Every structure is written in C-alpha cells, then in structure tokens.
A and B are shown apart, each in its own frame.
Chain A
C-alpha cells in the first residue's frame, strides 16, 4: 500500500514558466513533508519542507503548499530553469521519524 503517491511520472515545462509537482498521501499521522531533488548518478538533495501546522512555505523560487484536508501537497517552481530538470521526490515523516517517499516525478524544463 503506497502511502505517498506522485501520480505524474513526468512533467515538461518551458523555461520561465511555472512548474507544479503534486503529491498525495493517505496516512493522516504524517506531520512533516519534504521535497527532494535528484540528478542522475547522485543522491537526493533536500529542497524544501513544511510542517503539518502550516499551509505554505516559501524559499526563493520554490514554494510548497499543504492542504491537510485533501491530504495533498504541491511544489511550485517559479520561474522554471533548465537546471531544475531532475527527478523530484515527495517524502512524508510519521511519528516514528521514518521518511516515506513517493516514486518521483521527472521534471524537464525546456529552454
């Protein structure tokens, strides 16, 4: 049973436009959410996070939105740059501190 779902395996956007990556979860005990970015042949890199007591967190071009009632979070990248092309993983933390990851979404930003 997949508790963290990223239903879009891939997303393609034009440089300068907004990228929106989505993530859904099923476990209401998750209290902290993170986004990681991964380039080929590298480990995931922490990008941005949000606590369940907030509904928005912003860091430069990256904003994460959390809708607890819908068990949905999204990552917005504005403006998108070619260097943002990577696989993005959504992860959620439960009470046991374990991170549960989604399968990832491959973002391609076209020049």
Chain B
C-alpha cells in the first residue's frame, strides 16, 4: 500500500512570495490533515478535511494561508505571501474513518523563507 505522498520535499523562497504544497493521501482515507512542525516542536494541526469539507480550520491563519481538497482526494496548502516565520516543515496526514485515530503521515515539505 502506497503511503501519503507530498511534494515538493524541499522549497526555498524569498519572503512575500507565494508557495504551494501538494498532498496525495492513502487510497481510501477520507480524512486529511495538514500540520505545521517547527524545529524542536511536535506537529500542530492547521486544518482537517473530511472528504471535501474542511471541518476544523480553527488553527489556520486565514489571512495568508488557504487550503483546498476539491474532489475529496488530493489537497493543496498555499501560503501567500510567505513570511520569515513560516519556515517550518509542513506535514500532511490521512486516516480512515471519520476520523480515524491512527493518522498516517507523509514525509513533509521543508519550507525555508529567506
């Protein structure tokens, strides 16, 4: 079974530029999560989708962050414009069920904003 796929793995951009991250969850997993992980910290939830619906986006900074999961499968997380403090690892996870307790994580995208 293929795991959660994320791209790109690494991204370096200048501040004020836009950036987008892509996630393909495990086949059949209807719940998808985006997490932010700062250095030396545990992952922090940004948004949770059940199928196409964002059911928990309370931690998503909506002034610059947006996400979508149009067909209930792949998802994209966007930052526009990026700030220096956005440098972190962005993790995507998926689970089966509504929502499954065991979440399966992708390798993450390491973002560096200069």
Residue positions of A touching B, CB distance < 8 A: 4, 32, 34, 36, 41-46, 49, 89, 91, 93, 96-99, 101-104
Chain B 12-47 interface residues, beta-carbon cutoff 8 Å to A: 40-45
Contact across chains for A41 and B105 when beta carbons are under 8 A apart: no
Interface of A is mostly: strand
Q: How far is the CB of B43 from chain A (nearest CB, A)?
A: 5
Please classify how large the interface on chain B is, using the bins under 10, 10 to 19, 20 to 34, 35 or more: 20 to 34
Q: Which residues of B contact A102 (CB under 8 A)?
A: 42
Q: How far is the CB of B13 from chain A (nearest CB, A)?
A: 20
Chain B 46-99 interface residues, beta-carbon cutoff 8 Å to A: 48, 56, 91, 93, 99
Interface of B is mostly: loop
Given A43-B93, A96-B56, A97-B48, decide whether A32 and B43 contact each other with a Cβ distance below 8 A. Answer: no
Q: How far is the CB of B23 from chain A (nearest CB, A)?
A: 11
Query: CB of B111 within 8 A of chain A?
Result: no
Q: Which residues of A contact B45 (CB under 8 A)?
A: 98-99
Contact across chains for A34 and B102 when beta carbons are under 8 A apart: yes
Q: How far is the CB of B108 from chain A (nearest CB, A)?
A: 5
Q: Which residues of B contact A91 (CB under 8 A)?
A: 42
30 sampled A-B residue pairs with Cβ under 8 A:
A32-B101, A34-B102, A41-B107, A42-B107, A42-B108, A43-B91, A43-B93, A43-B105, A43-B107, A44-B105, A45-B105, A46-B103, A49-B102, A89-B42, A89-B43, A93-B101, A96-B56, A97-B48, A97-B56, A97-B99, A99-B43, A99-B103, A101-B42, A101-B43, A101-B44, A102-B42, A103-B40, A103-B41, A103-B42, A104-B42
Contacts beyond the supplied A45-B105, A46-B104, A97-B48: 10 A-B pairs with Cβ under 8 Å: A34-B102, A44-B43, A44-B105, A46-B102, A49-B101, A89-B42, A97-B56, A97-B99, A98-B45, A99-B43
Q: Which residues of A contact B105 (CB under 8 A)?
A: 36, 43-45
Q: How far is the CB of A75 from chain B (nearest CB, A)?
A: 15
Q: Which residues of A contact B103 (CB under 8 A)?
A: 46, 99
The 7 closest A-B CB pairs, nearest first, are A101-B42, A43-B105, A46-B102, A44-B105, A97-B99, A43-B107, A43-B106
